[in-house]
Structure 1
Amino acid sequence: MPDRGHYHHGHLRRAVIDAAVEVIARDGIGAISLRELARRAGVSHAAPAHHFKDKAGLLTAIAIEGFEMLADSLEEALNTASLPLLELGTRYVRFAVEHPGHFEVMYHPDVYHRDDPELLAARLWTRRVFRAGVSPMPRNQHEEAVRSGVLAVWSVAHGFATLLRSGNLDDYLDGSSPTELFRHIASQPPAFDRKASGSDDVAP
C-alpha cells in the first residue's frame, strides 16, 4: 500500500478515478465506496471527499471523462472515415469494450449529478458529433429526420454494446472481434420490414 501523502493533490484525484472505473468494470457501480477507494490509495478515508465531495460527485467526474473521451473518438471518426455513420457506431462499440467502467456510469444518470454544467457540455458534445454524422444525408434535411437519425444510430450501437457487455452475443462472435461483428451487422439492410423466414438461427 502506498505511504499516506504519497499522492500529489492532482494525482490522488486521478488515482481514485482509475481505481473506481476498475472496480465498476469488475463489480458494478454498487461496489463503489469512497472509503474503500481511499484505503486502496493509502490515504485517509476523508481525502477523496476533497475532490469529489461524495460518491455521486466521483461518478459525475467519471461520466464527464467518459463522454469527453467518447466524443473525441467519434469526432475523429467523423473527420476521417469514408463511411462516417458506420464508423461512429463502430467507435461507440469499441469505447464500450475498452472503457467498460466509464460506459457503465455514463448511461446511468440516476447515480450522478445530471445537472452538472461540465457533464451537460460533454453530453452535448457527444450528441452534436452524432448529429453531424446524420445531418449531411439528403433525406435528413429536416430537424425531425435528423433527430430520428441520431436516435437510430445511437440505438443500434448502444443496443449492440449492451448485449455484448452482458454476454448475450458470445454465441454470435464466433471468432470475430466485437467491432467486426458490429460492422457486419450494421452494414446489412434493415430487417424490420421483411417477412420472417421461420428460422431460429438468430433469436433472443
Structure 2
Amino acid sequence: MPTRPQRTPSDDIFPGVLSAALELMLEEGPEGLTVRALARRAGVAPMSIYNHFDGKNGVIDAIIIDGFTLLGEKAGTTETDARANLIAGSCAYREFALEYRAHYTTMFLHRFVGYSPSPETVAIAFRGFEILAGQVQRCEETGMFVGRSYIDVAQQVWAAVHGYVALEILGINFASDRDRIFYEFIDALIKGLDEPAS
C-alpha cells in the first residue's frame, strides 16, 4: 500500500525509488512509470525524484544501469574452456532475463516516449556487449570462428540469444524442456558459426 510522502535522506532515496520503479514496470509497464506514481509507491515527495534523479528519465537510466551491472555479474563467466565459457555466458544472459524481468524489459523490450539515455547508460550498455565480445575472442584464440571477425560473431550470438530470450519473456516458448532446448539451441548456434565462412 502506498505510504505517506516524507522527506528522505539523499543516501536512502535511491533504492526505494528504484524498487518502486521496478514494481511499476512489472505491474503496469512503461505507461505506469510516472513521477507521481513513483513518488506514491516509494513514499516520497514528487519533487525529490526530480531533485535526485532529474525526473523520470533519470529513473529509467537507473534501472538500465543497475540491470547491466547485474547482467555483467552474471554473464561474466570464467569457465576454463573457451567454448564452454561462451555457452555459460549465453545461459547466464537467459537466467538474468528470467530472474530480473523488469530490468530486462526496460533494457531491451520497452520504448519510452521522450527518453534519451545518458552517456553513462550508453557506456555501461556497451560494456555489456564487450563481455560477450571478449568471450567470443577467447574462442577465436583457440582456433574457432576462422575467417570471421569476433565482433561480427558476437553480434550474431547476441541477436540470436536475445531473440530466443525475448520470446520466452513474452510467453512465446513452447519447448518441452526449456533449459535443455535453450542449451541445445546455443550449442547448435555456436557449431554453425564455427563452420568456415564462405
TM-score, scaled relative to structure 2: 0.81
For residues 71-98 of structure 1, the C-alpha deviation after alignment (integer angstroms, 9 at most, x for no partner) is 12211x1x13640111111011111111
CA distance in 1, matches of 2:18, 2:10: 13
Closer, same or farther: CA 81–69 of 1 in aligned 2, 3 Å: farther
Spell out, residue by residue over 1:91-139, the C-alpha distance to the aligned partner (whole angstroms, 9 max, x if none).
111111111111111126853432x232122112211111111112224
Q: Percent identity of the aligned residues?
A: 23
Structure 1 residues 146 and 68: CA distance shift in structure 2, 3 A: same
- Aligned runs of 1:7-22 on 2, under 5 Å? 7-22=8-23
1:149-179 Cα offsets, whole Å, 9 max, x none, are 111110121011110011110x21x3x3x44
**How many residues end up aligned between the 2 structures?**
184
| Alignment-derived partner of residue 196 in structure 2 | none
1:157 to 155, 161, 166: 161
Q: Is the 8 A contact 1:4 1:44 kept in 2?
A: yes
| Counterpart check, 1:80 vs 2:79 | yes
Instruction: Give yes or no for the alignment of 1:182 onto 2:169.
Output: no
- Structure 2 vs 1, CA of residues 148 and 105 (structure 1 numbering), >3 Å: closer, same or farther? same
- Which consecutive unaligned segments of at least 5 residues does structure 1 have? 191-204
Deviations 1:16-56 (A, max 9, x none): 11111122123212220111111122222222111111211
Confirm or deny: 8 A CA contact 1:70 1:92 kept in the other structure: yes
Q: Does the aligned pair in 2 maintain the 1:135–1:141 contact within 8 Å? A: no
CA offset at residue 59 of structure 1? 0.4
TM-score w.r.t. the length of structure 1 is 0.79
2:47 is paired with a residue whose SS is coil
1:29-68 correspondence to structure 2 within 5 Å: 29-68=30-69
Distance 1:180 1:24 in 2: 29
Q: RMSD of the alignment, in Å?
A: 2.5
Residue type at the aligned position of 2:168: L
